[in-house]
């Protein structure tokens, strides 16, 4: 993939140019890519914030998915 970074007047990264063939390949392999710019509803943001707060308050409770499956006696 031959991406080109576009810079603003100050030299900061401002965007990326993706050649059309590469963009079509991405769209075929990731059909929902056009919907990635949609905003997350406030209720989802609040839920994420609440979960992150719980993680920060109780980091010892975080376990890997593998541990969870072992506890549930499921095959991975």
Three-state DSSP at 7 gives strand
**How many beta carbons lie within 10 A of that of residue 11, not counting itself?**
7
Greatest pairwise CA separation for the chain in angstroms: 58
Three-state DSSP at 1 gives coil
Indicate the domain borders of the chain.
1-37, 39-76
Residue 38 DSSP code: S
Per-residue pLDDT of the chain (76 residues; tens, 9 = 90+): 788 999 999 999 999 999 999 999 999 999 888 877 778 889 999 999 999 999 999 988 888 888 888 888 865 5
Question: Does the reported pTM lie above 0.85?
Answer: no
Three-state DSSP at 62 gives coil
Three-state DSSP at 76 gives coil
């Amino acid at each position: 993939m031959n991406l080109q970074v576009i810079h603003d007047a100050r030299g900061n990264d401002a965007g990326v140019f993706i050649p059309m063939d590469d963009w079509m390949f991405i769209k075929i392999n990731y059909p929902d890519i056009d919907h990635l710019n949609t905003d997350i509803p406030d209720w989802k943001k609040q839920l994420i914030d609440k979960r992150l707060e719980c993680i920060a308050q109780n980091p010892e409770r975080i376990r890997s998915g593998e541990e969870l499956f072992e506890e549930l006696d499921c095959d991975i």
